[in-house]
Structure 1
Amino acid sequence: MRLRKKWWARPELEQSKEVITEPKLLKGKWKEEFNNSNPIYLELGCGKGKFIGTQAQANKDINFIGIDLKDEVLVYALRKVNEVEREVDNIRLIPLEIAFIEEVFDKNEISRIYINFCNPWPKLSHNKRRLTHSRFLERYKTFLQPESEIWFKSDDKELFNDSLEYFNESGFELLYHTYDLHNSDFKENIMTEYEEKFRSKGMKIMFLRAKLK
C-alpha cells in the first residue's frame, strides 16, 4: 500500500537532533556523533520505531541507528522514541535508501545489524533486492566489526530458507535459528509492530542469528 505524502514530516524530522538527514557526512565519525565509544547497533527498516525505541531505552550502553526510506514512516518512529524518553542520547534515525548504506558507514563502525520483516521480494528476478541477499551481506561486511552478528526475523518461510543459504554463502556462521520464535527457547526477543499483528493472528515467526567469521 502506497503511503500518502505527508508534507509536514520532513520539517518535523529536520527539527530533531535524533534525525540525521545528511548521514554521509558522518561516515567514519559516528562515535563522535554519539560522543562515546559504545557499540553501535543498526536496524535496517525501523518502521514506526517500537523495536529500536525499546532497545535504546533498555540498553543505555549501546548506541542505536534506525534507517527507513519514507519520511512518513520515520516521523512516527521519532515520535515513538520521544514518547518513551524525551532526551534520547543513544539513538539516531536516518531517512535513507538502504542501497546507499556503504556511503554512510566506514570499516568496523557497526557491531550488530537487525533486519526485521523486510520485503520478501518473491519474484526470482527481484531476489537481489532482499536485505538478506548475499549481494547486501557483502555490503554489510564492509562496515561490520569482526564477529559481529546479524539478527533476522521474518514471517515468510521461502525468504527465511533462502536467507539461511545466503548467510552461509557469504561466510557467516549460523549461531541460532528457529521456525517458531515465540515458542522457542530464545528469551531476548523484542517484538515489532508487525510482529504483534502476526502473533495475534497465530502466525509463526522465524528468526536467526548469524555471526561474521
Structure 2
Amino acid sequence: MRIRKKPWADQFISDNEKYVTDEPKKYLGKWQERFEKQQPLYVEVGTGKGQFIIEMAKRNPHINFIGVEIQRSVIAVALKKLLNDPLPNLQLVITDGGDINEIFYPKEVAKLFLNFSDPWPKKRHAKRRLTSPRFLDTYKEVLSDDGNIEFKTDNRGLFEYSLTSLNNYGMKFEYVSLDLHKSPENEENVETEYEQKFSKKGPIYKLIARFNEAS
C-alpha cells in the first residue's frame, strides 16, 4: 500500500529526537541510555501508527518498548500520539525491521511483536514474510534465551505459513489461537489500528513461540 508523504514529517521527527531516531546503529549496545530506567526491552517490528506500542508502554511501565517502522510519514503519526502523553519507557525507531540484528546486540531483546505484517501472498515472495526462516535467523540472534515472539494476523494463509515455518525451525509454541477475539485471552489483548478496523470481517489469529536452544 502506498503511503502518502506528509510534508511536515521530516522536520517534526528532527525536532523530537528525544523520542525517535533514524540512526539506530548509533545506539547498538546503548539503547537503555535512551530510557529513564534500565528495564527489559520489548520490540515491535512494524509499529505503524503506534496504537499498540503506546498502549503496551502505558500498561507496563516496568518494561522498555521500542517501536520499529520504516515509513517516516507513518511513524510521524505515532510520534504525534506519543507526544500527547510522553512515556519514559517508549522509543520509536525508523529503520527496516529486516535489519534487527544490526541494531540490537545478541540476546538484548526480551520479546518481539509482529503485528499484522504484510502477507506477501505470492509464493515467490515467501522469503519476504516476517516469519520466514531468513527473518527467524535474525530474531533468534537478538532474543534472550527466555525471550519469545508474539505474532498476530487476520490472514489465514500467512498464519498457516507461519505455523509451518516456526515449527520447521524447531520453535516451541506456547500459545495458538484461531480466533483471538473470542478467546479468554482477548480480555488482555491490546489492539492495533488495523486490528480494530478489520476484526469484524473475520477472526484474528495469534501465536506465541520461543526458540529451542537446540534449534
**TM-score, normalization: structure 2?**
0.93
Distance (Å, rounded) in 1 between the aligned partners of 2:158 and 2:141: 23
| Aligned ranges 1:99-114 → 2 under 5 Å | 99-114=98-113
Distance (Å, rounded) in 1 between the aligned partners of 2:171 and 2:109: 16
Alpha-carbon RMSD across the aligned residues, in angstroms, is: 1.2
> Given that residues 36 and 89 in structure 2 are in contact (C-alpha distance below 8 angstroms), is that contact kept between their aligned partners in structure 1?
no
Q: Which amino acid aligns with 1:185?
A: P
Distance (Å, rounded) in 1 between the aligned partners of 2:151 and 2:62: 22
> Given that residues 70 and 95 in structure 2 are in contact (C-alpha distance below 8 angstroms), is that contact kept between their aligned partners in structure 1?
yes
Q: 3-state SS of the aligned residue for 2:20?
A: coil
| Aligned ranges 1:1-213 → 2 under 5 Å | 1-16=1-16, 17-83=18-84, 85=85, 87-186=86-185, 187-199=187-199, 201-213=200-212
Q: 3-state SS of the aligned residue for 2:210?
A: strand
Shift of 1:205: 0.4
Distance (Å, rounded) in 2 between the aligned partners of 1:7 and 1:100: 26
Distance (Å, rounded) in 1 between the aligned partners of 2:97 and 2:55: 22
Q: Which ranges of 4 or more aligned residues in structure 1 deviate by more than 3 Å? A: none
Shift of 1:203: 1.4
1:144-187: CA deviation from partner (whole Å, max 9, x where unpaired): 10021100000111110110111122232101111100001213
1:46-102: CA deviation from partner (whole Å, max 9, x where unpaired): 01000000011111110000011111100011111222x1x3211110111122222
**Structure 1 runs not aligned, ≥5 long:** none
1:178-204: CA deviation from partner (whole Å, max 9, x where unpaired): 1100001213210110111112x3411
> Given that residues 28 and 107 in structure 1 are in contact (C-alpha distance below 8 angstroms), is that contact kept between their aligned partners in structure 2?
no
Distance (Å, rounded) in 2 between the aligned partners of 1:65 and 1:205: 24
Distance (Å, rounded) in 2 between the aligned partners of 1:190 and 1:209: 15
Shift of 1:35: 4.7
**Structure 2 runs not aligned, ≥5 long:** none
Q: Which amino acid aligns with 1:115?
A: L
How many residue pairs were aligned?
210
> Given that residues 36 and 88 in structure 2 are in contact (C-alpha distance below 8 angstroms), is that contact kept between their aligned partners in structure 1?
no
